[in-house]
Amino acid sequence: MCRKLSVGIMVLLLSIFVVLGTTAAVAQAETVIGEDVLQAGRPYEGTTLRFISLNYLYSKAIQQLTPHFEKATGMKVEIELYGTEDNFIKQVSELSMGGYAYDIVQVPPFNQPQYMAAGWLSPLDDYLQDSRFTPSAFDADDFFKVGMEFGSREGIQYTLPIFSATILYYYRTDVFDKYGIAGPAETFEELLDISKKIQSDEIAAIVLRGKPSIEQNMWPFGLIARGYSSFFKDYPDDLHPNLTDPNFLKAANLWKELFQYGPPGINTFSHEEVILYAQKGLAAQWIDGHPLAGLFLDPERSSVVGKVAVAKTPRGPKGWFPAFSEHGIGIARGSLQKDAAWEFIKWASSKEVLLEASQISQYLAVTRRSVFADPRFREKYSYFGGTFLDISNETLQARSLYFPPIPEWPTVGHVIARALSEVTSGIKSAQDAFSGANSTVDRIMKSAGYYK
């Protein structure tokens, strides 16, 4: 009896061990997203990395996925997310001093030339070209070429592309139908005419970013500034400012007139207010980023789902100059653990991770060809009857020189942004505001050594 009981207990224990072993094996074999690009053997186990980034769609999605990286590598990643201005201040104060508080940096598009020229980022070429650090599965050639070019200077790669953005023209089809408007504006003059026609007490004809900032009012203003004139005389050959050119002033005045058909307080609006007005059905038109389409059409927040269409942005007399900006991810020059930082950057920009990020969030500004072509991506973002991705791709592929990629552009851009705000708010005339801005930019460019 005891012998039988002992045998039974042994069989039971053996069964438990088998089950536990199988469970452990299953858990161990569980797929870790992005694991195919990581080094074997967990060489940086126990390392803690710090990543500073803008508080936006890509970084929020990466934050959700980071436990996969931590599980696969044994590292820990501390992610700090900030708004545009706080992010810039913290990054510049740390990077300019050569500090090592941050290992990984998300670099905004307007700051990439500045950071690279200042030597604040560590070159990535040695990692990209060494199979010990970067396996073939990473496939750097899969990135859209222009994204990689945006993150390089004098043939050296400093960042990898993680967020490719452009601007589209969104309009309310129900409002257009009500007023008998056949279709979207193709020129800025048509945009103004439509705005005059559909303005009402119930709904603003148009909503735009108006807050004076290189990331806010300058983001859409570049469309009309380039369509009518240029920021400089003849980039890159002549970098004298061109802000008093009659055609530039004409663009500024037309922009001011558009603001008269916007909601109260439009001169303080950031993208957040544009999103809110679009979702609440309080605007008939808006010109803003294509990465925000998922927010404009969020069925849980938006009252205009099924009532919005999308088109290319209007053109000016000089032609069509669509927006383009590229956020990059790089290694801070002062980091004391660059190899480990590369492991995270490689993972966070890999095919599998970017695709998964697009599925768990509204991150659609993808930077890899394979992700853009993936059926799962195309199915999720087949907005506006399937036209959204085609129009976005056409606009992105146009890749116009939306702003001059010079280190001084963040400073210059803010000068122009303030002058533009003075115009749209009625504080100064376009002539007065941009005469002052032109003089300021001239001093900046002279000081930088572009001319005497």
Q: What is the pLDDT of residues 49-84, one digit of tens each?
A: 999 999 999 999 999 999 999 999 999 999 999 998
CA dist., res. 269 & res. 137, Å (int): 43
Nearest Cα to Cα of residue 409 among 138, 200, 109, 208 = 109
What six digits make up the tokens of 290? 């294509």
Tell me the CA distances in angstroms from 342 to 96, 124, 152, 166, 241, one per residue in order: 21, 8, 16, 28, 39
Instruction: Fill in the amino acid letter for 419.
Output: A
pLDDT for position 9: 44
Nearest Cα to Cα of residue 134 among 166, 110, 102, 157 = 157
Burial 205-215 (b: 16+ CB within 10 A, else e): bbbbbbbbbbb
Nearest Cα to Cα of residue 139 among 290, 39, 36, 218 = 36
Nearest Cα to Cα of residue 381 among 367, 368, 392, 369 = 392
Nearest Cα to Cα of residue 151 among 327, 291, 339, 338 = 327
Average pLDDT over residues 212-234: 97
Average pLDDT score over the chain: 93
Average pLDDT over residues 397-425: 94
Confidence tier at 93 by pLDDT (50, 70, 90): very high
Average pLDDT over residues 236-241: 97
Of the chain, the percentage scoring pLDDT greater than 70 comes to 93
CA dist., res. 260 & res. 275, Å (int): 19
Q: Are 355 and 363 in contact (CB under 8 A)?
A: no
Nearest Cα to Cα of residue 302 among 393, 432, 170 = 170
Q: Are 285 and 199 in contact (CB under 8 A)?
A: no
CATH of domain 167-323+406-447: 3.40.190.10
CA dist., res. 368 & res. 358, Å (int): 12
> Residue 161 is inside which H or E element, if any?
strand 160-165
> Which pTM value belongs to this model?
0.89
Q: Are 290 and 392 in contact (CB under 8 A)?
A: yes
Bridge partners of 310, per DSSP, are 170
Other CB atoms within 10 Å distance of the CB of residue 177 = 11
Q: Are 100 and 334 in contact (CB under 8 A)?
A: yes
**Could you tell me which residues come within 8 angstroms of residue 411 by beta carbon, excluding any fewer than 6 positions away?**
444
Cis peptide before 236 (omega within 30 of 0): yes
Parse the chain into domains and list their residue ranges. 36-164+325-373, 167-323+406-447
Angle between helices 246-259 and 188-198 (to 10 degrees): 20
DSSP class per residue in 210-226: -SSSTTTTHHHHHHHHH
72 or 13: which carries more pLDDT confidence? 72
Instruction: Give yes or no on whether 36-164+325-373 and 167-323+406-447 have one common fold.
Output: yes
Bridge partners of 255, per DSSP, are none
Nearest Cα to Cα of residue 211 among 260, 277, 274 = 274
pLDDT in tens, 344-399: 999 999 999 999 999 999 999 999 999 999 999 999 999 998 899 999 999 998 87
Give yes or no for residue 18 having a pLDDT over 50. no
Q: What is the third-level CATH fold of 36-164+325-373?
A: D-Maltodextrin-Binding Protein; domain 2 (3.40.190)
**Could you tell me which residues come within 8 angstroms of residue 239 by beta carbon, excluding any fewer than 6 positions away?**
232, 233, 404, 406, 445, 450, 451
pLDDT in tens, 275-306: 999 999 999 999 999 999 999 998 999 999 99
Other CB atoms within 10 Å distance of the CB of residue 381 = 20
Q: What distance, in Å, lies between the first and last C-alpha atoms of the chain? A: 104
pLDDT for position 1: 46
